[in-house]
Amino acid sequence: MSELKKFRLINKIEGYSFIILLFIAMPLKYSFGFPIATKVMGMIHGLLFMVFVYQLLESMKEVPFNKKEALIYFILSLVPFGSFYTDKLCKEKEPIAAIA
């Protein structure tokens, strides 16, 4: 599996974990008094975020991401639903990665 495909996969998983954290775990904590939801989901999301950053750096070695693009991908990971836009942008780079 290419580094770009690994990056796209972890990007999607990390994006879903962020959405679950924001829209399921946090309401469970603050509306229903279930604080363990954010502890568990927050830890999972934090680990996935670290893997995301690592995979972003690894994919920069294989795919011609410049530093500006990498910074944009990083910032988009901090925005809800931003990772899905990152996936769209990375999908356009796949043919380039296949040639290199």
Domain coordinates of the chain in residue numbers?
3-99
Nearest to 7 by CA among 53, 41, 68: 53
Whether pTM exceeds 0.85? yes
pLDDT at 87: 93
Rounded to the nearest 5 degrees, what angle is found at the Cα of 88, between the Cα atoms of 80 and 38?
A: 25
- DSSP secondary structure letter of residue 34: -
Question: CA dist 85 to 6, 12, 27, 32, 98, Å?
Answer: 16, 10, 25, 32, 21
pLDDT at 97: 57
| Residues 80, 70, 62, 94, CA torsion sign | positive
pLDDT at 74: 96
pLDDT at 68: 94
Give the residues of the chain that fall short of pLDDT 70: 95-100
State what percent of residues in the chain have pLDDT above 70.
Answer: 94
